[in-house]
Structure 1
Amino acid sequence: MRLKDLATAINGTIVLSGESNGSGSDNPEITGVSCDSRYIREGEAFFCLTGGSLDGGDFAAEAAECGAAAIVTEKAIALPKSARGNVPKQILVPDTRKAMSLAACAFYGYPANDVKTVGVTGTNGKTTITYLLSAIFEAAGKKTGVIGTTGLVYAGKKIDPALTTPDPAFLQKTLADMRDHGVEYAFLEVSAHAVHYEKIAGIPFYARIFTNCTQDHLDFFKTMERYARTKESFFLNAESDGFFVVNTDDGTGRKIADGLKIQGKKAFTYGLENPSDAFAVIADESPAGSRCLMNFSDTLCRAAIPLAGRHNVYNALAAASLAFLAGIPPETIAAGLENAVPPRGRLQRICGVPGAEIFIDFAHTPDGLEKSLNAVRPFCKGKLYCLFGCGGNRDHTKRPKMGEVAAKNADFSYLTSDNPRYEDPCDIIRSIEAGYRRFSDRYVCIPDRKKAIFYAVDRLKKGDVLLIAGKGGEEYQEIMGVKYEYDDESVTEEAIFSRGGKG
């Protein structure tokens, strides 16, 4: 890619041509795109991102010293000649974040034109839906890839994640690698932050799926209205045609469906309560999962879902709805769901305590915690215990609400740490307590999460159920900027071994 190709791809204007970087060319080769001046390499274009805590323009000179061939910025920057003797070309754009995404698409050859990309957004359910989609489409003989919270999975690879939705350059590089490995469908978790920061700009989505919208990330979005509007914009500002699969049992989902109708577009709706294009009737529930009858515009599908809980029927219905639209037969949809391997830490059943049930779940929002507690309540003949905490340096307002949810829906709770980050775990727990104490005093505070799990597992009796919530399949605990090796599943198994055969 040449400089002028880059400018065209991002709708930018080349200014301050400066001096060439050794080649004498006014149209140098662009060897990569980056927004991190620490890792910029010679010949790459550096994007001065704005809108965060730092201004990328402050690092343009550093990028120039590293050999950047171009600086993409929202305003011209006065740059001195670098030690290499060059002044990089500058490209002016209205929005560097969107430009970064468009540039990444172009640099990697627009891989989403070849890999059908499905974006799944919503507060809860994104990870589970992407895994169920992969299972169904693989059952139909398609090669698939998954990109999201638990990592990147495709072509026999498993790469750990940094963010729910990767940065644009890494995302497009991954899609390009999927294309090169023959992947036909990529299932991508799309976070609200990714929409806000234009990380997915330029992707011609094959389909967009909406799960639900409940409280989360208010530390960033400040109000539920702004958070919901961001989710809605993923559908209502869509620049490409494709399928829109929308949960209209959710208020935000109904707004999306109505908005699409005004635009002359059709949402394929799903739900368990309100009239919709796809719905399901639950026939049976157990700790191992649910059996249900799905109806897609009068096409029936009997399915066994390997995940417990009504909310996972919603997740399965979302995945199955897109599969139906893609022309996959009901029997193949059913086979895919039945044989799906759910992601770690999504209402994951841990066996080993005679007569009792233990589940590990990622539920980290008030709504998610309530749904998970309600999901396991039917299997409880004794007491329902809940062990959870809240993340540090994140939305403070949801902490007392999660305490309230646990107090109302569990018989007893263990309040502990999640990822405290730079906060004192005891301060976080006190915030949870503020909501909990309004409805119950049946709880104990154990800040050390491992000790809390050992304590909770040791006290289980026949008929009891323990939900360990918040971290799911995470393999670390973040404390004061350090990610320590830790995961709930391993600790729980240690605790079960430690208690021995106590029933």
Structure 2
Amino acid sequence: MILEELIAGLETERVIGETSVKVNGIEIDSKKIAKNRMFICLKGGNFDSHDAAKEAERYGASVIVCERRLNVGITQVIVKDTRLAMSYLAAAFYSFPSEHMKIVGVTGTNGKTTTARIIKEILERSGKKVGLIGTLGVFFGSTFYEPTLTTPDPLDLHKILHEMYHYGIDYVVMEVSAHAIDLKKLAFVRFEIGVLTNLTQDHLDYFGTMEKYRAAKKAFLTSPQCKTVVVNSDDELGREILLENDKVVSYGIDNPADVFAIDVKEELDGTSFILNLFDGIYDVKMKLLGLFNVYNALAAEVACALLGVRVKDAVRALKEVSVVPGRLECVSEKNGIFVFIDYAHTPDGLENSLNTLKKLTKKRLICVFGCGGNRDTGKRAQMGEIAGKIADFTVLTSDNPRYEEPMEIIREIEVGLLSRTREYVVVQNRKDAIGYALGYAKTGDVVLVAGKGCEKYQEILGIKHPYNDKDCIEYIERETNL
């Protein structure tokens, strides 16, 4: 592609040099530069890749995109914001693929992965060709890419969308993270529908305050790039958006909504409820557990109906939707002991999962969990208090400590736990903690291993060590004949 064509719609402050040069690719890592690649200089908290422009030139870059004039001998495109420019350039390089498909963006603190997965399954069962981008990876046809980020960076995202379009995908469901919104990753993606699941505390290590976190979510949902918005009327942010906008469709249980559920019944083999979908009444029995999954299902039903799926087909498909891996997934049922794994890593997520299982537990509910390192520290004591309030016994352990000392994280959780109970034990090693919980459990008990879901690693000091909760549970049961 010729630079002049690539930057035709880009807001620039100045272009220095020839615009007839070739651009064969775009990079943000100077070490990946090859001949005729464009290098985009980004700034972050601890880096400024404007300093790597000379290196990119040596490696063969034909163009530098930057926020200030640099001492290089190749073409420079100077812009106000290189992150915003990157989003445009990635979209333009791949011919704006989002304009050729109907894209659903699911955002919220909890429930993104499950809601997105339900939407995908309903659409597929209705005969649509669907792609999925999210925490569990990228899926379309027989193609699967391992997950990197909940929402990929623009260069990867538009490449993926381009591949999906040329594969014949008509609908794309993607999880939209608050980080991606704030970093302008999605600025040039057109969404047919934006979905809000809920907003509760998370990511304050990045945003600093709930107000800033909330503003990021709201900015996406109320932007012109979302044609229609689906919100939870039982969520404060959802109600705010509902009152302020006329392109909104609502779902809920407690507050008035366009689509709602009543008579919810929870059991260990699934959840049933009566669904009012745009004044049509339907009996639903789904395999997913918990009231929070009723909300996820409602959001998915609304989105699919708005996409043109026949209501009866959407309801029928919901009954067949499979449990999402690592999302309140029952991984063992032996000797009358049920063992679940769940991704719950926020106060609200942990409380929802524990409350769901508490209702279904005949005897004791045992919870194994920890908190991630170098993340929002304010939620640690909160999660400890929640576990102490709901679980009958808790095993505190390590999650992804990253660059923090695991026992320091555990001690911070312990403060909240001690405000509610003394019924707990600390076992730092996660495998040993799960082994302790399984050995402690008796017939009629339920064990919840929370925090990691189906993650395939444990991150310690920058290294992702192979690890999976489900594999760990299966190994312990096999080796100890539990």
TM norm structure 2: 0.97
2:379 is aligned to 398
| C-alpha contact (below 8 Å) 1:206/1:241 kept by paired residues | yes
Q: Are 1:307 and 2:274 matched, yes or no?
A: no
| C-alpha contact (below 8 Å) 1:139/1:335 kept by paired residues | no
| Structure 1: unaligned runs, 5 residues or longer | 18-24, 80-86
| C-alpha contact (below 8 Å) 1:208/1:243 kept by paired residues | yes
**In the aligned structure 2, how far is the partner of 1:284 from the partner of 1:155?**
35
1:223 is aligned to 209
1:240 is aligned to 225
| C-alpha contact (below 8 Å) 1:131/1:342 kept by paired residues | no
Report the AA paired with residue 223 of structure 1. Answer: T
1:241/1:221 Cα in 2 relative to 1: closer, same or farther (>3 Å)? closer
The CA deviation string for residues 20-57 of structure 1, in whole angstroms up to 9 with x for no partner, is xxxxx641111112211121222121111124321121
Report the AA paired with residue 10 of structure 1. Answer: L
| C-alpha contact (below 8 Å) 2:106/2:197 kept by paired residues | yes
Report the AA paired with residue 208 of structure 1. Answer: G
**In the aligned structure 2, how far is the partner of 1:374 from the partner of 1:47?**
47
**In the aligned structure 2, how far is the partner of 1:342 from the partner of 1:384?**
21
Q: Are 1:146 and 2:108 matched, yes or no?
A: no
**In the aligned structure 1, how far is the partner of 2:226 from the partner of 2:107?**
17
The correspondence of residues 476-487 of structure 1 with structure 2, limited to 5 A, is 476-487=457-468
Note the C-alpha offset of 1:241: 5.1
The correspondence of residues 347-426 of structure 1 with structure 2, limited to 5 A, is 347-426=328-407
The CA deviation string for residues 148-191 of structure 1, in whole angstroms up to 9 with x for no partner, is 11100111112111111101010000001001111111111010
**In the aligned structure 2, how far is the partner of 1:248 from the partner of 1:288?**
27
Could you tell me the percent identity over the aligned residues? 44
The CA deviation string for residues 283-338 of structure 1, in whole angstroms up to 9 with x for no partner, is 43212221122112202233222210000010011001111112212221123222
Q: Are 1:59 and 2:61 matched, yes or no?
A: no
| C-alpha contact (below 8 Å) 1:14/1:91 kept by paired residues | yes
| Structure 2: unaligned runs, 5 residues or longer | none
**In the aligned structure 2, how far is the partner of 1:341 from the partner of 1:109?**
35
| C-alpha contact (below 8 Å) 1:245/1:322 kept by paired residues | yes
1:22 is aligned to none
1:253 is aligned to 238
**In the aligned structure 2, how far is the partner of 1:289 from the partner of 1:340?**
11
1:124/1:154 Cα in 2 relative to 1: closer, same or farther (>3 Å)? same
Report the AA paired with residue 489 of structure 1. Answer: K
| C-alpha contact (below 8 Å) 1:400/1:434 kept by paired residues | yes
| C-alpha contact (below 8 Å) 2:270/2:288 kept by paired residues | yes
**In the aligned structure 1, how far is the partner of 2:284 from the partner of 2:456?**
32
1:63/1:342 Cα in 2 relative to 1: closer, same or farther (>3 Å)? farther
The CA deviation string for residues 425-482 of structure 1, in whole angstroms up to 9 with x for no partner, is 1111001001111111111000000011011111211111111000001000111111
Q: Are 1:450 and 2:431 matched, yes or no?
A: yes
Q: Are 1:441 and 2:422 matched, yes or no?
A: yes
| C-alpha contact (below 8 Å) 1:305/1:316 kept by paired residues | no
Aligned partner of residue 447 in structure 2, secondary structure: strand
**In the aligned structure 1, how far is the partner of 2:38 from the partner of 2:244?**
38
**In the aligned structure 1, how far is the partner of 2:91 from the partner of 2:286?**
36
Note the C-alpha offset of 1:204: 1.0
Report the AA paired with residue 405 of structure 1. Answer: I
2:97 is aligned to 111
The correspondence of residues 482-501 of structure 1 with structure 2, limited to 5 A, is 482-500=463-481
**In the aligned structure 2, how far is the partner of 1:233 from the partner of 1:283?**
33
| C-alpha contact (below 8 Å) 2:264/2:291 kept by paired residues | no
1:132 is aligned to 118
Q: Are 1:213 and 2:206 matched, yes or no?
A: no
**In the aligned structure 2, how far is the partner of 1:383 from the partner of 1:103?**
55
Q: Are 1:77 and 2:70 matched, yes or no?
A: yes
Aligned partner of residue 269 in structure 1, secondary structure: strand
Note the C-alpha offset of 1:88: 1.8
**In the aligned structure 2, how far is the partner of 1:282 from the partner of 1:447?**
42
TM norm structure 1: 0.93
Aligned partner of residue 9 in structure 1, secondary structure: coil
1:162 is aligned to 148
| C-alpha contact (below 8 Å) 2:198/2:238 kept by paired residues | yes
Root-mean-square deviation (Å): 1.3
**In the aligned structure 1, how far is the partner of 2:214 from the partner of 2:244?**
13
**In the aligned structure 2, how far is the partner of 1:320 from the partner of 1:443?**
40
Note the C-alpha offset of 1:13: 4.2
Report the AA paired with residue 235 of structure 2. Answer: D
1:201 is aligned to 187
| C-alpha contact (below 8 Å) 2:2/2:19 kept by paired residues | no
| C-alpha contact (below 8 Å) 1:138/1:336 kept by paired residues | no
